[in-house]
């Protein structure tokens, strides 16, 4: 038995035999073309069209956000700039295969250099290139194996085209050596509830070797013992029971309500979130609507998206975050691309304050959508670091007609100033993804510092408690909307620290609902105190487990 560490996505556990992703194609030779430029160009054009058509067809079958991703890949295949670059290489004597390989690689490198969300799209581009080259060679594209029995898929990273069509009856779990918690594999695994551990680094597993994939504990165990298998099966059965439990409102064992809300990036996910028992929306990431826009969106186009989201939750709370541009979420129309250190640059509320017309338009669109619907709209600003930013945002939003106006606490300074900030803001929502990143000085996208990126760290827990205390002192609610809220035991700790609502990926709602029902408020406080009194993330988790 050996243990491999990575980043677990979700809370699942699964055991099964390994099957590796079909390997990548051998790189094409750079020998000059023997058949001439016209024939090479015709071959590329046919291959590109075939690949784009296949990606679009897969997207249509998959639906949902997978369809958006696959259609974006189809567009990459047919991108005119890439086509020009391929044609120029063929004119200079390259074969079709080599020209595609070189042109796509160059473009992928450019994306990677940009980093953040665009950097992560470089893998999508490499996948498109492989598909085109496979088509030119007349061989199957590298992809998901079909061993004929359920298996644990092991891959370098999964391209969206693979993840979207995974047969969930056959794929018990996914392990990737590359990719971080925001890679496509992670996003889609979270959305589809696939057991996954990503970013393990190099691993040595043979086809058919038995592995236990333990996402809740960020690990993969090769050749697990009988006891480990039995324990995994118990946890799997408990999870299945949680998924099948009635969709009651979030509450502790003593009846203390803890509303469970959804994190959403588009109104398209609203119906599914409601079906999974979301009692509202705790974080609508509006910037996800505009990641590829070159221009600031109009009031009209925004109003329609917001109206759709609010209309899906009549009478319910919907917390909308105004555009959070910068670092991992660059928006071409708001972000300064030349910053050396964008995570510490003019991002979030700083970018909006600098371009106040964009903020005014968004708040205007939100106020209009609010007037047309019956949801209880709350609006908050990202990356608030000071009391003056709080005063700026809350007074502008109120001036433009928004009724409930708050801030996200994602920067340690705002946790330290929570009492003062919550004297002005109507509420606070703690974004643990960034709060941990800034508290630990560990880039949330970087696999090499993932061990420092745990919201269990007592440094983060102490800051969260300060915010909850600041809320209580001012009689204002404090929620959590970072990934921490999706970890069932940590959710209990957060409530014990004084947090009153939890917002998460909808696929995590069932696990968290069940975990809360197992403890009273007094117990949650005791468990939180045990975690707080430790000196490391591992100790905090262990202490909470022991106390629970």
Residues near ligand PEP (CB under 6 A): 283, 285, 324, 410, 431-434, 481-482
The answer to whether 431 contacts Mg ion (rule: CB under 5 A) is yes
Give me the least distance between CB of 432 and ligand PEP, in Å please: 5
Stretch that binds Mg ion, among 57-65, 99-107, 424-432, 513-521 (CB under 5 A): 424-432
Choose from Mg ion, ligand PEP, none: what does 214 bind? Cβ within 5-8 Å by kind. none
Number of H-type helices and E-type strands within the chain: 22, 16
Q: Which residues pair with 478 in a beta bridge?
A: 428
The answer to whether 157 contacts Mg ion (rule: CB under 5 A) is no
Task: Look at phi and psi of residue 396 and say left if phi exceeds 0, alpha if psi is from -120 to 50, else beta.
Answer: alpha
Q: Which is nearer to ligand PEP, 276 or 409 (CB)?
A: 409
Choose from Mg ion, ligand PEP, none: what does 111 bind? Cβ within 5-8 Å by kind. none
Residue in 20, 58, 24, 54 with CA at minimum distance from that of residue 145? 20
Instruction: Kindly provide the b/e burial profile for residues 485-499, where b requires at least 16 CB atoms within 10 angstroms of the residue's own CB.
Output: bbbbbbbbbbbbbbb
Give me the least distance between CB of 433 and ligand PEP, in Å please: 3
The answer to whether 434 contacts Mg ion (rule: CB under 5 A) is yes
Is residue 323 within 8 A of residue 286, CB to CB? The reply is yes
Q: Which is nearer to ligand PEP, 214 or 487 (CB)?
A: 487
d(CA 203, CA 150): 21
Q: Which is nearer to ligand PEP, 59 or 488 (CB)?
A: 488
Stretch that binds Mg ion, among 273-281, 427-435, 472-480, 495-503 (CB under 5 A): 427-435
The answer to whether 483 contacts Mg ion (rule: CB under 5 A) is no
Residue in 4, 58, 9, 1 with CA at minimum distance from that of residue 174? 9
d(CA 299, CA 194): 37
Choose from Mg ion, ligand PEP, none: what does 443 bind? Cβ within 5-8 Å by kind. none
Instruction: Kindly provide the b/e burial profile for residues 411-440, where b requires at least 16 CB atoms within 10 angstroms of the residue's own CB.
Output: bbebbebbeebbebbbbbbbbbbbbbbbbb
d(CA 33, CA 354): 53
The answer to whether 287 contacts Mg ion (rule: CB under 5 A) is no
Give me the least distance between CB of 484 and ligand PEP, in Å please: 8
From residue 392 to residue 421, the character string flagging contacts with Mg ion as x (rule: CB under 5 A) and all else as - is ------------------x-----------
Give me the least distance between CB of 348 and ligand PEP, in Å please: 9
Choose from ligand PEP, Mg ion, none: what does 283 bind? Cβ within 5-8 Å by kind. ligand PEP
Active site residues: 184, 481
Is residue 464 within 8 A of residue 497, CB to CB? The reply is yes
Q: How far is CA 138 from CA 10, 43, 71, 132, 473, in A?
A: 38, 11, 23, 10, 68
Give me the least distance between CB of 409 and ligand PEP, in Å please: 9
Give me the least distance between CB of 414 and ligand PEP, in Å please: 12
Q: How far is CA 48 from CA 38, 71, 87, 117, in A?
A: 15, 14, 13, 25
Choose from ligand PEP, Mg ion, none: what does 481 bind? Cβ within 5-8 Å by kind. ligand PEP
Give me the least distance between CB of 502 and ligand PEP, in Å please: 12
Q: Which is nearer to Mg ion, 162 or 324 (CB)?
A: 324
Q: Which is nearer to Mg ion, 12 or 382 (CB)?
A: 382
Choose from ligand PEP, Mg ion, none: what does 432 bind? Cβ within 5-8 Å by kind. ligand PEP
Q: Which is nearer to ligand PEP, 95 or 433 (CB)?
A: 433
Q: Is 448 exposed, middle or buried (0-12, 13-18, 19+ CB in 10 A)?
A: exposed
Read off the DSSP letter of residue 32: P
Is residue 410 within 8 A of residue 436, CB to CB? The reply is no
Give me the least distance between CB of 436 and Mg ion, in Å please: 10
**Applying CB under 5 A, what is the total number of residues that bind Mg ion?**
3
The tokens describing 375, both together, are 């949801």
The answer to whether 282 contacts Mg ion (rule: CB under 5 A) is no
Q: Is 398 exposed, middle or buried (0-12, 13-18, 19+ CB in 10 A)?
A: middle
Stretch that binds Mg ion, among 109-117, 326-334, 429-437, 461-469 (CB under 5 A): 429-437
Residues near 366 by beta carbon (within 8 Å), at least 6 away in sequence: 302, 306, 320, 322, 377, 379, 402
The tokens describing 506, both together, are 């909808």
Q: Which is nearer to ligand PEP, 120 or 434 (CB)?
A: 434
d(CA 466, CA 428): 12
The answer to whether 342 contacts Mg ion (rule: CB under 5 A) is no
Choose from Mg ion, ligand PEP, none: what does 73 bind? Cβ within 5-8 Å by kind. none
Q: Which is nearer to ligand PEP, 213 or 261 (CB)?
A: 261
For residues 297, 300, 305, 307, the Cα torsion angle rounded to the nearest 10 degrees is 150
Choose from ligand PEP, Mg ion, none: what does 511 bind? Cβ within 5-8 Å by kind. none
The answer to whether 218 contacts Mg ion (rule: CB under 5 A) is no
Q: Which is nearer to ligand PEP, 328 or 361 (CB)?
A: 328
Give me the least distance between CB of 434 and ligand PEP, in Å please: 3
Q: Which residues bind Mg ion (CB under 5 A)?
A: 410, 431, 434
């Amino acid at each position: 038995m050996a243990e491999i560490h990575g980043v677990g996505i979700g809370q699942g556990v699964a055991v099964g035999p390994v099957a590796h992703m079909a390997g990548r194609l051998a790189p094409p030779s750079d020998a000059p073309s023997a058949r001439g430029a016209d024939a090479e160009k015709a071959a590329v054009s046919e291959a590109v069209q075939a690949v784009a058509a296949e990606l679009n067809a897969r997207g249509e079958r998959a639906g949902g956000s997978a369809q958006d991703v696959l259609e974006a890949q189809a567009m990459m295949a047919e991108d005119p700039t890439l086509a020009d670059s391929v044609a120029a290489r063929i004119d200079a004597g390259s074969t079709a295969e080599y020209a595609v390989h070189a042109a796509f690689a160059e473009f992928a490198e450019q994306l990677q250099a940009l980093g953040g969300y665009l950097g992560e799209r470089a893998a999508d581009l490499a996948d498109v290139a492989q598909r085109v080259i496979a088509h030119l060679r007349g061989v199957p594209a590298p992809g998901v194996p079909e061993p004929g029995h359920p298996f644990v898929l092991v891959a370098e990273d999964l391209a969206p085209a693979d993840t979207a069509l995974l047969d969930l009856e056959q794929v018990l779990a996914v392990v990737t050596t590359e990719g971080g918690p925001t890679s496509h594999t992670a996003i889609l695994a979270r959305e589809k509830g696939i057991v996954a551990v990503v970013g393990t680094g190099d691993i040595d597993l043979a086809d058919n070797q038995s592995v236990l994939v333990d996402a809740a504990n960020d690990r993969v165990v090769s050749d697990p013992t009988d006891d480990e298998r039995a324990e995994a099966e118990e946890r799997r059965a408990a999870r299945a029971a949680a998924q099948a439990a009635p969709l009651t409102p979030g509450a502790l064992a003593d009846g203390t309500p803890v509303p469970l809300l959804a994190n959403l990036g588009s109104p398209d996910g609203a119906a599914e979130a409601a079906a999974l028992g979301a009692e509202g929306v705790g974080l609508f990431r509006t910037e996800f609507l505009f990641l590829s826009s070159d221009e600031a969106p109009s009031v009209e186009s925004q109003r329609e998206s917001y109206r759709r989201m609010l209309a899906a939750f009549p009478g319910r709370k919907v917390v909308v975050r105004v555009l959070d541009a910068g670092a991992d979420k660059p928006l071409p129309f708001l972000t300064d691309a030349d910053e050396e250190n964008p995570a510490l640059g003019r991002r979030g509320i700083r970018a909006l304050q600098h371009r106040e017309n964009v903020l005014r338009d968004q708040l205007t669109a939100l106020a209009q959508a609010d007037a047309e619907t019956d949801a209880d709209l709350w609006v908050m600003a990202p990356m608030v670091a000071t009391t003056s930013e709080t005063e700026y945002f809350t007074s502008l939003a109120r001036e433009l007609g928004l009724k409930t106006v708050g801030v996200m606490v994602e920067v340690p300074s705002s946790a330290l100033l929570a009492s003062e900030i919550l004297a002005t803001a109507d509420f606070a929502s703690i974004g643990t993804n960034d709060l941990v990143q800034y508290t630990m000085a560990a880039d949330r996208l970087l696999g090499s510092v993932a061990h420092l990126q745990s919201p269990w760290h007592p440094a983060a827990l102490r800051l969260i408690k300060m915010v909850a205390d600041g809320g209580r002192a001012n009689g204002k609610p404090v929620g959590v909307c970072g990934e921490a809220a999706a970890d069932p035991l940590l959710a209990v700790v957060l409530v014990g620290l004084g947090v009153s609502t939890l917002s998460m990926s909808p696929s995590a709602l069932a696990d968290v609902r069940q975990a809360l029902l197992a403890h009273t408020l007094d117990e949650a406080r005791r468990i939180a105190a045990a975690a707080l009194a430790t000196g490391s993330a591992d100790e905090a988790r262990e202490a909470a487990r022991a106390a629970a």
